[in-house]
Amino acid sequence: MTINRREFLRRTIHSALGGVALYSALGNLKLVSAATHAINGGVFNDYKALVCVFLNGGNDSFNTVVPYDATHYGIYHATRPALALSQSAIAAQSLIAQATQPGLPGGPPSDAGSYGLHPAMPELRSMFNAQHASIIGNVGTLLGPITQAQYQAGGFPTPPQLFSHDDQANFWQTSRSDDANASGWGGRIADLLHDGNPSQQLPMTISLSGQNLFQRGDSIDQYVMSASGVESIGYLGEYQNELGAQTFGALIADGTQAHMFERAYAGANRRAIATYELLQSVLGTTPTWTTPFPNSYLGSQLRQVANLISARGPGALDMRRQIFYVSLGGFDTHDTQLASQAGILADLSASLHAFYQATVQMGIAGDVTSFTASDFGRTLSTNGDGTDHGWGGHHFVVGGDVRGGRFFGQMPSLLQNANPDDAGYGQIIPTTSVDQYSATLANWFGLGAAGINDVFPNLELYASPDLGFMAS
Amino acid sequence: MLRVLQERSSVQSGRRWISTLLVALMAFLLASGQAGAGEPDPIFNDGFDGVVGPNSDVEAARFLDQASFGGRLSDIAHLRAIGYSAWINEQVAAGVSGIKPFLNWMALTEGVYQQHRLEAWLINAAQLYDPAIPLATHNDQLRQRVAFALSEIMVVSDKNAALTFQPWALGDYYDTLSLDAFGNFRDLLEDVTLHPAMGRYLSMLGNRKNDPVLNIRPDENYAREVLQLFSIGLSQLNADGTPVLVGGNPVPTYNQDVVRGFAHVFTGWNFAGCTVENYDDCGPGNPYESEWQTPMQAVEAFHDNSTDKQLLNYPGVALPGGVLTAGGNAQQELDAALDNIFHHPNVGPFIARQLIQRLVTSNPTPAYVQRVAAKFADNGGGVRGDMQAVVRAILLDDQARHGQLSSPSTFGKLREPILRLARLWRVAPAHSVNGHTFRYSHPRDQYGQLPLSAPSVFNFFKPDFAQPGEIRNAGLVSPEFQIATDTQLVTAPNELGWRIFYFYVGSRYSVVWENGAPVPEEALMDYTALKALAANPATLVDHLNLVMMAGSMSDYMRGLLITRLQGTPPDHLPGQPDGAAVDVALFRVQQALYLIVNSPEFNIQK
């Protein structure tokens, strides 16, 4: 049923964009407030990209965004003495929050503390202070707002299998904590907006990190490539196999099949080859990025995303809406966290910065938004040299359209005992839902009200469907 | 561990007995066939269904394309010797291959994961040597092919995080489908409904009656999908599977009240052994424990026995108005509800069409669907839901046997990607040293499809997916095209190519050869028989045309392949020792297999 409704919406949005009406939807066009500010003959006339940076394993955000003022640092240090970063090191990475703007969310931390970033993250700190990045506090999977009292009383709806990697990572990627078998929210957006791209050659969802749930749609399939390039049919390029390649080509050549399905299959093969050849050709000459990307897994993924975005124009990929997926692993820091987390946070910071600088270099910093996501936050309490699976956690959004230099949402208490935000065992109850976080990004992306309602059906559970961290 | 061993040995001894019996039976049947000097014996061929044949190797190969994972020469000869009907009888009687014995065998030495389920599935499909049951022949090809089809209709998946680390649960679910493949649909429906893997997947497990204090209402997940996907579908069907239209519009089979009614019926079920006290938090602690392989049981305190339930209402429905009046216990209400579904007139055409799509053709004629659905309604002996009769009707229908002649440009279907690997291993028999099939080379995303690993309850592809372009414009559907994506059309040929060019007996490739010997876990294809045909490229191509394409290869393709095989090999073949003379026969076998398995003509089963 969902799929039928989505197909209907897709078609109506496409119609609203000025495309051919594929579906008789008279009287229902009013559903679509989507993206109609940017229409031109069926396609968007501006470019926007979303980049999901998934931190595999559940990042310990309580050692990523840390208070350094005496009161809050004292609490932080008392709660996790074995893992506490030094006060001076945090202060040296201080975040200068912008003042609250009248009538708008976002500003200094809700607990009035002074916060800094992990010492391994100077680039992200600079971007925050330059208002190119913001922090969304205590985001997590929810089935509606829930208080500590409600949680502890039991029976109040919460996402199933809390604290479990796969389940919670899935809910982050689907924004459907009520449905363990849902498709991804990036994929569902692509189902609706793909037709708004001038070229239909390349899927608007591209993964640099394997098949993922976030980009799984019902009708648009993610294109998977690697940081090092596009996979091509190996046989066609084998040494001394020219006649083999020629034979393969003759078997799929247009007009050589007698059966309709054979023709369709041959056509699909030719299309797949054309897609990778197109990507190979546009990636054959890529810009020289003035801010070098780290030679890390994440750095090379984001470099490839920048390369792809640089080829977005007519004559190359000809795309106006794209959703990318990259990932970084190692966040499941049950032990030796101080050593291991520093390295990956450093990579995250430097890679996000290089990527942002690439968008500046392309002159489209305001058209590209990167955001972090992760399985869950980790426990406030420690197990000695590490932390365990938690629930809510802080996240970063980066881009020229981000209302930067601000904290959004609530900063939870870091108290070890009598903590009003603690679900138990230091697992912090989220005060902002993944649904709100995702929908705010989707709204900026141009999904429109009807699309938002479709992709995020649980959004109605929250008073603020848009968190206000995007400028337009 | 003891329990596992005992279970394995009992399965094993049962299998061994069946195998022995079968060997004897087959020897007898083969002898009978040989008596006619290769000609079909009329006694065996003149089935009770009145379908005579096969009358040629090509006809036999084409039938086996639909009814098995691909006919080898021996399969073709055997089918020709005994005829379609006897072959089906033999398949029904054959010992049932399972996934679980292999998992249990694996558990003796190492941790068991979903990838081992794939190994077991491939062993069964390709009839490889089975280290868990060394004497097993896995000769139940038709049953396994039907089970695979059922696994794509009544979907559970390890992509669901709650099942990712439950290989036994999914293995047992698959084995349940195999066991029920030729049974009654009503039993299949109940076994699927009560399987803990399904219970977990569609959240009937732990489902409970209304609790106004806790603000809990029955979960509607299973209620919705069992109706929409496993039995009747969204709209009313005519007996031939076409939608009933009123004023040009389809008529819904049920509404939200009905979903709610079934949701209330499906309350109170949990893992075997759960109690009132531990209902919210009970169940097996480890994947191999028996609760994952035991039907869910009811805890009456959580079953809604106090409300009337609106179930399906249709002409001739047993429950007055389709309403189940309150008062039954969980099992009684489940029985009534599943009967209510089972007798809905949609079930026959709905299931018939999808099974035809999986085995024979994407676009069966309404008359074909109607004939099969009629067998579902009555197997000829007054029994509804006899799956053996349904499968027989599907395969022996004139459309299945001759549809490629009446609709030469549209009959058939796109082969499922993972079946291409199984087929390859049948054409060039694969085996490893120790009976595993992979060490590090497990397929993952390359095929866009692995058994019981669909992205959602909607399967890898939907029955009505129509490839944009000529197929959609013609008003036809092509379900398997949904996963023929830009990504898969590159990764699958590369994966298959990797196997063909590197994973062969004698290969020195580093993944399959180390310390001067083959890596014991990796299945390698044995090209001996094929290489013997390769001296004359035409002979090799014609053989592969029979066993891979049921003789349907065009002259155009045949000519291209022969020209390619006559071409000059490269200086060095992958996996050959340095300095070795080029093995022309190996080159020809590999080129022929690769080009065929990736060709449009092979990939459309006709």
- The CA distances from residue B467 to A348, B358, B399, B480, in Å, are 41, 17, 23, 9
- What are the structure tokens assigned to B548, written together? 């891979």
Chosen from B420, B476, B486 to mutate, greatest number of chain A CBs within 10 A: B486
CA distance A450 to A448: 6
Tell me the mean pLDDT in the region B182-205.
97
Q: What is the mean pLDDT of chain A?
A: 91
CA distance A30 to A32: 5
Residue A423's H or E segment, with its range, is: none
Task: Provide the shortest C-alpha distance from residue B6 to chain A (in Å).
Answer: 34
Contact criterion met (CB below 8 Å) for A110 and A411:
yes
Answer whether residue B5 shows pLDDT above 50: no
Question: Of B162, B486, B600, which is closest to A161 when you measure between CB atoms?
Answer: B162
Q: Apex CA A22: angle with CA A19 and CA A23, to 5°?
A: 125
More confident residue, B604 or B162: B604
- What are the structure tokens assigned to B289, written together? 């424990």
Nearest to B149 by CA among B115, B125, B123, B120: B125
Residue type, position B540, single letter = L
What's the pLDDT at A21? 37
- What are the structure tokens assigned to A180, written together? 């363990």
Question: Of A181, A267, A269, which is closest to B456 when you measure between CB atoms?
Answer: A181
More confident residue, B286 or B33: B286
- What are the structure tokens assigned to B266, written together? 């499906």
Q: Please, which pLDDT band fits residue A6 given cuts at 50, 70 and 90?
A: low
Chain A: residue whose CA lies nearest to B600: A262
Contact criterion met (CB below 8 Å) for B449 and B418:
yes
Answer whether residue A419 shows pLDDT above 90: yes
Answer whether residue B214 shows pLDDT above 90: no
Task: Provide the shortest C-alpha distance from residue A238 to chain B (in Å).
Answer: 9
Q: Please, which pLDDT band fits residue A14 given cuts at 50, 70 and 90?
A: low
Residue A398's H or E segment, with its range, is: strand A393-398
Contact criterion met (CB below 8 Å) for B340 and B318:
yes
- The CA distances from residue A251 to A51, A255, B417, B587, B597, in Å, are 39, 10, 18, 19, 12
pLDDT in tens, B8-54: 333 333 333 344 333 333 333 333 333 333 344 444 433 445 688 99
Q: Please, which pLDDT band fits residue A8 given cuts at 50, 70 and 90?
A: low
Residues on chain A touching B455 (C-beta within 8 angstroms): 183, 216
pLDDT in tens, B398-433: 999 999 999 999 999 999 999 999 999 999 999 999
Nearest to A337 by CA among A54, A64, A53, A55: A64
Contact criterion met (CB below 8 Å) for B181 and B151:
no
CA distance A166 to A57: 9
Chain A: residue whose CA lies nearest to B562: A247
Is B215 within 8 Å of A155 when comparing Cβ atoms?
Answer: yes
CA distance A328 to A167: 18
Number of residues assigned to chain A: 472
- What are the structure tokens assigned to B320, written together? 């007055």
Question: Is the minimum CB–CB distance between A295 and chain B shorter than 8 Å?
Answer: no
- Would you tell me which residues 154-183 of chain A have a C-beta closer than 8 angstroms to some C-beta of chain B? 154-157, 160-161, 164-167, 169-170, 179-183
Nearest to A306 by CA among A449, A208, A181, A439: A208
Residues on chain B touching A252 (C-beta within 8 angstroms): 599-600
Is B162 within 8 Å of A239 when comparing Cβ atoms?
Answer: no
Predicted model pTM? 0.87
Question: CA-CA-CA-CA torsion for B318, B321, B323, B328, nearest 10 degrees?
Answer: -40
Q: Apex CA A449: angle with CA A448 and CA A455, to 5°?
A: 85
What's the pLDDT at A154? 81
Tell me the mean pLDDT in the region A92-118.
97
Among A334-343, A393-402, B194-203, B302-311, which stretch is predicted with the lowest mean pLDDT?
A334-343
Chosen from B470, B478, B490 to mutate, greatest number of chain A CBs within 10 A: B490
List residues bridging with A404 in a β-sheet: none
What's the pLDDT at A22? 36
What's the pLDDT at A322? 98
Tell how strand A65-67 and strand A115-117 pair up. Answer: antiparallel
Tell me the mean pLDDT in the region B550-576.
97
- The CA distances from residue A195 to A16, A105, A190, A198, B494, in Å, are 11, 33, 9, 8, 30
More confident residue, B196 or B250: B196
Q: Please, which pLDDT band fits residue A396 given cuts at 50, 70 and 90?
A: very high
Is A268 within 8 Å of B413 when comparing Cβ atoms?
Answer: no
Q: Please, which pLDDT band fits residue B3 given cuts at 50, 70 and 90?
A: very low
What's the pLDDT at B27? 36
What are the structural domains, with CATH classification, of chain A? Answer: 47-230+287-461 (3.40.720)
CA distance A359 to A353: 10
Contacts of A110 (CB under 8 A, 6+ apart): A137, A407, A409, A410, A411
Enter the ipTM: 0.91
Chosen from B222, B416, B485, B553 to mutate, greatest number of chain A CBs within 10 A: B485
pLDDT in tens, B343-399: 999 999 999 999 999 999 999 999 999 999 999 999 999 999 999 999 999 999 999
pLDDT in tens, A126-174: 999 999 999 999 999 999 999 999 999 887 889 988 888 888 999 999 9
pLDDT in tens, A436-462: 999 999 999 999 998 999 999 999 999
CA distance B21 to B12: 14
Residues on chain A touching B447 (C-beta within 8 angstroms): none
Q: Is residue B517 classed exposed, middle or buried when 0-12, 13-18 and 19+ CB atoms within 10 A define those classes?
A: exposed
SS3 A144: coil
Answer whether residue A3 shows pLDDT above 50: no
**φ/ψ bin of B340: left (φ > 0), alpha (ψ from -120 to 50), beta (otherwise):** alpha
DSSP states along B65-86: HHHSS---HHHHHHHHHHHHHH
What's the pLDDT at B530? 98
Tell me the mean pLDDT in the region B590-605.
98
CA distance A352 to A343: 14
Tell how strand A133-140 and strand A432-433 pair up. Answer: parallel
User: Residue B519 phi/psi, 5° resolution?
Assistant: -65, 120
Is the sign of the CA dihedral B72, B78, B83, B84 positive or negative?
Answer: negative
Residues on chain B touching A224 (C-beta within 8 angstroms): 445, 487, 491
CA distance B568 to B571: 9
- The CA distances from residue B502 to B507, B513, B526, B594, in Å, are 6, 10, 12, 12
Contacts of B153 (CB under 8 A, 6+ apart): B229, B230, B351, B354, B355, B358, B459
Cβ count near B357 (within 10 Å): 24
List residues bridging with B184 in a β-sheet: B386
CA distance B288 to B167: 8
What's the pLDDT at A218? 81
- Would you tell me which residues 242-281 of chain A have a C-beta closer than 8 angstroms to some C-beta of chain B? 243-244, 247-248, 250-252, 256-269, 271-273, 275-276
Contact criterion met (CB below 8 Å) for B33 and B81:
yes
More confident residue, A220 or B586: B586
Question: Of A3, A218, A251, which is closest to B557 when you measure between CB atoms?
Answer: A251
Work out the percent of chain B whose per-residue pLDDT is above 90: 86
Residues on chain B touching A161 (C-beta within 8 angstroms): 161-162
Contact criterion met (CB below 8 Å) for A267 and A216:
no
User: Residue A249 phi/psi, 5° resolution?
Assistant: -60, -40
Is B412 within 8 Å of A261 when comparing Cβ atoms?
Answer: yes
What's the pLDDT at B451? 98
pLDDT in tens, A299-334: 999 999 999 999 999 999 999 999 999 999 999 998
Question: Is the minimum CB–CB distance between A292 and chain B shorter than 8 Å?
Answer: no
Tell me the mean pLDDT in the region A120-125.
98
Nearest to B97 by CA among B183, B185, B19, B2: B19
Contacts of B370 (CB under 8 A, 6+ apart): B239, B240, B241, B349
Cβ count near B535 (within 10 Å): 11
What's the pLDDT at A7? 61
Is B161 within 8 Å of A167 when comparing Cβ atoms?
Answer: yes
pLDDT in tens, B466-492: 998 899 999 999 999 999 999 999 999
Cβ count near B57 (within 10 Å): 19
More confident residue, B30 or B576: B576
What's the pLDDT at A160? 84
Q: Please, which pLDDT band fits residue B216 given cuts at 50, 70 and 90?
A: confident
